[in-house]
Amino acid sequence: MEFTFTAEENAFRKEVQAFLDAELPPDKAFDHEFNEAQDLWDFAFDFTRKVGEKGWIGLTWPVEYGGLGRSLTERLILAEEFAYRDAPLVNVIGYGLAAGTLLAGGTDEQKKRFLPGIARFDQFWAEGLTEPDSGSDLASLTTRAERDGSDWIVNGQKTYTTWGHHADVMYLAARTNPDAPRHAGISIFCLDLKAKGVHMTPLYNLGGGRQNHTFFDDVRVPADMMLGEEGLGWSYIMNAFYHSGGAAAHHCELQRILDELLEYCRHTTRGGVLLIKDPLVRSQLAELEYMIEGERLLAYEAVSNVTTGRPPMFGGALGVVVIKENMPVFAQIANRIVGPLAQLKTGSRWAPIDGNPEAWYRQSYANHAGGTSQVKRMVLATRGLGLPR
Amino acid sequence: MDITLDDHHQDLGRVARHLFETRSPLTTVRQLEESDRGYDPDLWHEMAGLDWLGLAVPEGQGGPGGSLLDLVALYREMGRTLVPSPHLGTAVIAADVLARSGSRHELLASIMAGTSIVTPALLEPDGAWGPDAVTLPARRTLDGFALRGTKLLVPYAHVASQFLVTARTAAPPDGVTLFVVDAADARVEKLPNIAGMPLFAVSFDVELGPESVLGAVDQGWQLLSPALDRAGVLRGAEVVGAGEKLLDLSVDYAHQRKQFGRPIGQFQAVQYLCTDIAIATHLTDLFVRQAAWRLDQGLPARREVALAKGYASRAAQVVVHRAHEVHAGVAFMLESDVQLYTRRAKHWELDLGDARYHDEVVAAGLELAG
């Protein structure tokens, strides 16, 4: 057992930090998930391509598929540094879900055709899983693809399509066999969002970003754009979610918030007391530190389990539950520390920490993405603890 | 980076669980709570024979040279089985302090042999914790010190041969001195308590020679503090073991108990309670392992120890509370094993610095960071 990184890994962290120092302007807030400003998106695209040129998008993939064949621990380090700096690396659906699906179930030909492009960020992928009536119960999805010669014809609707209006292609889960058991009839496609019959309408979210409804009206998808095997889509989705969780670094996003708060508390007086000296504030800061450290250790454990070939504990759901449930609580405590002015938005000179506390709170309710904490609790209870369904 | 448990820790845990479950089942734990002695001397000597009384004493000091992580493996099982013993006070805190003091070799040897019990007497009547909370005076005399005052919540004082006592010899900072005081020089008063543990008020009014000082005068906290860090981490390990047991009990009960025509474990409200136990227990486990690993490596671990004990103090209450909710009326009856954990966990929560104390250590670290 060791709670530490090797000298080589620490050197890689330094390399990542130096890259970010060079590429990220110090006084720019990116927040690409929740910001529609075009200049930020232009920057995010350029930045992501540069990360691709370093080979870091496909850091852990085999070399023959455009990767560098590096370790999962190094991917964790990369994720930690990027998360701490809020580096605008886009295309998580591409390098996470799509690449995960291809690595798990793609043919050699598919891997060679798709992965190098994802590693370079040639195309921006949108998510096409959730439907209006299929959220937590994703396997009930009804968007269908019917075979017609060398094409599949897609009809139906997806929703909450994050980044859809910026994207080139969609990671689409569609029902290809309506007669199969519901988990067995789903296949994955790479669908061209510029194809005839695709239509999007905007949904603006509480975080300040845009999502979309996506409608498919007889959209033709060439048969060779199916990822993996027909009917195995569900297993790819589950597997890719587990693997992308293996190198998540949400704790570093929280660390960034805590560090901003600490800086604020060291220099702000309220009621004649420096906040950092206020016993209630100190207790609240400690509360945040417990959350961050718990998430950090869970992330390290997840990587350890994958690296040593151990199966994930607790149905792989415990860490996700903790992260999802921490998010709003963390933001609420952060707001309490800041006090009454935490309601002020970015743009007012009176807003503490440039209005970030207000945004942290709104955005914390994006904790449903990738599945609600309730669903993850059900998985933890039944698959993890063996409780009856 | 591999933070999973090593095989030999798992092996040690299996051995310990087997020994404790066969030699000290919960029926025995109940009997010992009612007994005058409060622990089982036969099992104590068996532990001495296994080199477990001084497990982490270095080889150069006559110990087996085990790690704190070895002790963590042992303490998880102690927490799971609630085996009552003076181990933490004498075989961890006193043994560690004696080993690092480089003196009193014969006393350390007799602790490891199970023939002496040296009990720390630290907490004072105002309940405060930490170096500045030590106020019991040790006044200088012509040829030594006069020690006068009372310590509370002293475990196993009735069977102790000596006490390890913190006393104030100069104003803070520093100014705390450690004394080894013969049990014959103290008055003990049993304290009825929720945990059913042998806890005592111990009063001193005694003149001591300079040979009673352990380590350097006024430098006692520096000598004691690393031992308290280790003990705090081990209290956390007990919470992990108890949490795992309460999870087992709760999941089993949720399978067996049927209401509204189905096992209550099918109700999501009950599933949430069980998952709360799993989360609190597992996070405590990770905090504890990290702190123990750092201490074993000789790395700074003040923050990690405080996080481990501070989190464990909270988790002790979470796991008990949720187990009560799952078992409801059954756990409120004394015949239920759940309430054995309820009562003991209260002691773990408050012992060696409560959550409030460790939160402040964490906050102080944040204030200085960056």
**For the segment B226-278, what is each residue's pLDDT rounded down to a tens digit?**
999 999 999 999 999 999 999 999 999 999 999 999 999 999 999 999 999 99
Strand partners, A152: A147, A221
Instruction: Residue B359: list chain A partners with CB under 8 A.
Output: 282-283, 286-287
Dist CA B361 CA B370 (whole Å)? 16
Identify the DSSP state of A363. H
- Specify burial of residue A24 (Cβ count, 10 A radius: 0-12, 13-18, 19+): middle
Pick the CATH number of B7-116 from 3.30.70.20, 1.10.540.10, 3.20.20.140, 2.60.130.10: 1.10.540.10
> Contact, A350 vs A344, CB < 8 A?
yes
pLDDT at A381 over 90: yes
Instruction: Residue B360: list chain A partners with CB under 8 A.
Output: 282-283, 286
- Cα of B251 to nearest chain A Cα, Å: 7
pLDDT band at A30 (very low <50, low <70, confident <90, very high): confident
Q: What is the pLDDT of residue A246?
A: 46
User: From residue B47, how far is each of B42, B51, B89, B95, B130 by CA, in Å?
Assistant: 9, 6, 15, 15, 31
Contact B370 A9 (CB under 8 A): no
Structure-token pair, residue A310? 């151990």
> Contact, A144 vs A156, CB < 8 A?
yes
Contact A1 B2 (CB under 8 A): yes
> Contact, A68 vs A115, CB < 8 A?
no
Contact A297 B272 (CB under 8 A): no
Q: What is the pLDDT of residue A361?
A: 96
pTM recorded for the entire structure: 0.96
Contact B275 A298 (CB under 8 A): no
User: From residue A111, how far is each of A84, A106, A269 by CA, in Å?
Assistant: 31, 6, 57
Contact A2 B2 (CB under 8 A): yes
> Contact, A326 vs A364, CB < 8 A?
no
Size of interface A-B (CB pairs under 8 A): 141
Dist CA B148 CA B195 (whole Å)? 28
Nearest to A387 among B265, B311, B356 (CB): B265
- Geometric angle at alpha carbon A253, from A250 and A257, rounded to 5°: 145
Phi/psi-derived region of residue B130, left when phi > 0, alpha when psi is between -120 and 50, beta in every other case: left
As for the ipTM of the complex, it is 0.96
| CATH class, B119-218 region | mainly beta
Structure-token pair, residue B3? 């933070």
Domains of chain A from N-terminus onward: 7-90 (1.10.540.10), 126-231 (2.40.110.10), 248-384 (1.20.140.10)
Contact A285 B6 (CB under 8 A): no
Instruction: Residue A307: list chain B partners with CB under 8 A.
Output: 1-2
Q: What is the pLDDT of residue B365?
A: 97
- Specify burial of residue A128 (Cβ count, 10 A radius: 0-12, 13-18, 19+): buried
- pLDDT average, residue stretch B204-226: 97
Contact A310 B4 (CB under 8 A): yes
Four-residue CA torsion sign, A68, A71, A76, A77: negative
Dist CA B85 CA B189 (whole Å)? 19
Amino acid at B8: H
Long-range Cβ contacts of A355-360 (<8 Å, 24+ apart): A356/A257, A356/A260, A357/A331, A359/A31, A359/A34, A359/A207, A359/A208, A360/A257, A360/A331, A360/A334, A360/A335
> Contact, A40 vs A88, CB < 8 A?
yes
Q: What is the pLDDT of residue A243?
A: 55
CB < 8 Å from B in window 296-315 of A? 297-298, 300-301, 303-305, 307-308, 310, 313-314
pLDDT at A173 over 60: yes
Contact B274 A385 (CB under 8 A): yes
Amino acid at A257: I
Nearest to A387 among B271, B360, B364 (CB): B271
pLDDT band at A170 (very low <50, low <70, confident <90, very high): very high
pLDDT at A221 over 80: yes
pLDDT at A247 over 80: no
Contact A294 B283 (CB under 8 A): yes
- Cα of A133 to nearest chain B Cα, Å: 22
Identify the DSSP state of A89. -
pLDDT top residue among A178 and B1: A178
> Containing H/E element for B176?
strand B176-182
Dist CA B220 CA B212 (whole Å)? 12
Q: What three-state secondary structure class fits A190?
A: strand
- pLDDT average, residue stretch B319-336: 98
- pLDDT average, residue stretch A84-111: 94
Dist CA A47 CA A41 (whole Å)? 10
Structure-token pair, residue B165? 């006592």
- Cα of A285 to nearest chain B Cα, Å: 6
> Contact, B233 vs B348, CB < 8 A?
no
- pLDDT average, residue stretch A9-29: 92
The residue in chain B having the minimum alpha-carbon distance to the alpha carbon of residue A283 is B359
**CA B212 to mean position of chain CA atoms:** 25
Residues 6+ apart with CB under 8 A from A43: A28, A30, A88
Structural domain boundaries in chain B: 7-116, 119-218, 222-368
Instruction: Residue B310: list chain A partners with CB under 8 A.
Output: 286, 290
- B57: closest CA among B100, B15, B24, B86? B100
Q: What is the pLDDT of residue A32?
A: 62
> Contact, B336 vs B330, CB < 8 A?
yes
Pick the CATH number of B222-368 from 3.40.190.10, 1.20.140.10, 3.40.50.720, 3.40.1690.10: 1.20.140.10
DSSP H stretches of helix in chain B: 7-23, 26-34, 41-49, 68-81, 87, 95-101, 105-113, 220-256, 268-297, 302-327, 329-332, 338-350, 355-368
Strand partners, B60: none
- Geometric angle at alpha carbon A60, from A107 and A384, rounded to 5°: 85
Contact A297 B283 (CB under 8 A): yes
Contact B9 A303 (CB under 8 A): no
Dist CA A32 CA B46 (whole Å)? 63
**For the segment A112-128, what is each residue's pLDDT rounded down to a tens digit?**
999 999 999 999 999 99
Instruction: Residue B275: list chain A partners with CB under 8 A.
Output: 318, 321, 377, 380-381, 384-385
Contact B4 A262 (CB under 8 A): no
> Containing H/E element for A378?
helix A373-379
Among residues of chain B, what percentage have pLDDT more than 90? 98
Q: What three-state secondary structure class fits A187?
A: strand
Instruction: Residue A314: list chain B partners with CB under 8 A.
Output: 278, 282
CB < 8 Å from B in window 239-278 of A? 258-259, 262-263, 266, 276
How many other CB atoms are found less than 10 A from the CB of residue A203?
15
**For the segment B171-199, what is each residue's pLDDT rounded down to a tens digit?**
999 999 999 999 999 999 999 999 999 99
Nearest to B363 among A4, A283, A389 (CB): A283
pLDDT band at A245 (very low <50, low <70, confident <90, very high): very low
- pLDDT average, residue stretch A345-369: 94
Contact B3 A301 (CB under 8 A): yes
The answer to whether the bond into A178 is cis (omega within 30° of 0) is no
Dist CA A312 CA B301 (whole Å)? 28
Amino acid at A195: A
**CA B59 to mean position of chain CA atoms:** 23
- pLDDT average, residue stretch A237-257: 78
Q: Report the mean per-residue pLDDT for chain A.
A: 94
Among residues of chain A, what percentage have pLDDT more than 90? 86
Chain B residues whose C-beta is within 8 A of a chain A C-beta are 1-6, 9, 69, 247, 251, 254-255, 262-263, 265-266, 268, 270-272, 274-275, 278-279, 282-283, 286-287, 289-290, 293-294, 307, 310-311, 356, 359-360, 362-364, 366-367, 369-370
Residues in chain B: 370
pLDDT at B352 over 50: yes
Q: Is residue A11 within 8 angstroms of chain B, CB to CB?
A: no
